[in-house]
Structure 1
Amino acid sequence: MASVTGNGREGSETGGRGGRPRSAGADAAILAAARALLAERGWDGMTLGDVAARAGVAKTTLYRRWPGKAELVVDAMAQLFDTLEPADAGSVRADATIAIRDLIALLGRPETQTAFLALAAHAARDPGLRAAVREKIVDRQRRLVHAGARRADARGEGGRITDPDLLFDVIAGTMVHRLLIAGEPVDDGYVERFLDLVLPAATR
């Protein structure tokens, strides 16, 4: 698997056969090509050969890093989700509003929708893939809510986020279901109603 740091940038490390050094530039080109082809052609239309050609690397370079399409897409999506940043807008509710809007924008991208639906289907039959999705995409983004909880405490809003992991599950689960499963839009009014439900009125 490609190494993707928490800030969304690949690190150079030793990998592949014979301990060859990994090329961060090649990794970045491959991951970007995978996302572009997912958006253009969908899951079934994207092949590893096409990704290698789009990235300008040899197929062997790609296969040394990722043994299959699912593994590649997990890392491509992980890098994309790592671009999400905690918001600091003055209150828990304002922070949450910005964070949710950022998540909605990311979930609305065609490559994200294609990847998530396909990975969910494949992960249902592959425990290793499910674990990779959870570790590299889902659990890594819990940092956003934990950062919000720490910031709330620093502002004197202690107690507003009593269970960051549960709040993350509620936010992520609702938005993924609304956008990717139900196929319904998430406008400002929906976000406001959602926050009325999950956050105390005092967090306005």
Structure 2
Amino acid sequence: MQSRTPASRTGRPRSAAADTAILAATRQALVELGWSKLTLGDVATRAGVAKTTLYRRWAGKPELVCDAVAELFDELELPDLGSLAADIEGVVLQFAAILARPEAKSGLMAVVAESTRDDALRERIRASIVERQMRLVLEGRARAQRRGELPPEPDPQESARTVDLIFDMVAGAVVHRTLVSGKPADEEWVRGFTRVLLLGLASQPAEPGAQGAAPPGTPPRGDDTP
């Protein structure tokens, strides 16, 4: 399939300020107009740039919206809450909050749908969203290994496969919950998801005061104290 990515051009370097204004204007337009009514002309007007400026940077609306949404996910931070379970809960709640924003919701669903018939766009989503956010899994896994909550994995290939699997499980579950099912990824859901992620499907919810039923590294909760 032919790539929609524009060929490189010589000339003046790109303006970081213009890029920032354009991506912010794109998110604003997504909130106010939604995907279907958003146009590059409207974005250019909001950003205070010429429409040709957008076309020099992006091949079309899907690429522009992909980059605008990708910036939202750069806001994600992995908290250090003292345990692997608590860290996962913290970042998943952040992720769900971003997906609840109208610009993320409409933009992400639209570009994913467009990417089903555009290989170059699918690769752009992978590079600008998936690969950029893989850092969270790498950071969290390394921290948990330093704490002794997870065993080391010396084989680089096996380690890379594990990181991919963790990312797919977390991202897939939260996106399906919030954007496909339309249900809240609230604290109760996130706690249950984290328990299943860490202990597997055979795990059972712990009774108050039960020993050995909490995910690895989970700090005792005050309301569970006998």
TM-score when scaled to structure 1?
A: 0.88
Deviation at 1:158, TM superposition (A): 3.0
Q: Which amino acid aligns with 2:19?
A: D
Deviation of the 1:48 alpha carbon: 0.2
* Aligned residue number for residue 171 of structure 1: 170
Amino acid at match of 2:127: E
In structure 2, runs of 5+ residues without a counterpart are 1-6, 154-158, 200-214, 219-226
Q: State the partner residue of 1:24.
A: 16
Q: Distance in 2 between matches of 1:133 and 1:149?
A: 23
Structure 2 counterparts to residues 1-204 of structure 1, below 5 A:
17-159=9-151, 163-200=162-199, 201-204=215-218
Give yes or no for contact 2:84–2:216 (8 Å, CA) kept in 1: no
1:178 to 1:59, Cα distance in 2 relative to 1, 3 A: same
Measured against aligned partners, the alpha-carbon deviations of 1:95-123 in whole angstroms (never above 9, x if no partner) come to: 10110011001000001110111112111
2:216 alignment partner, SS class:
helix
* Secondary structure of the structure 1 residue equivalent to 2:31: helix
RMSD: 1.8
Larger radius of gyration: 2
CA distance in 1, matches of 2:183, 2:114: 24
Alpha-carbon separation, structure 2, partners of 1:95 and 1:202 = 12
**TM value normalised by structure 2:** 0.79
2:85–2:216 Cα contact (<8 Å) kept: no
Distance verdict in 2 for CA 1:103–1:160, change over 3 Å: farther
CA contact (8 A) 1:16 1:65 kept: no
Structure 1: which amino acid aligns with 2:195? Answer: D
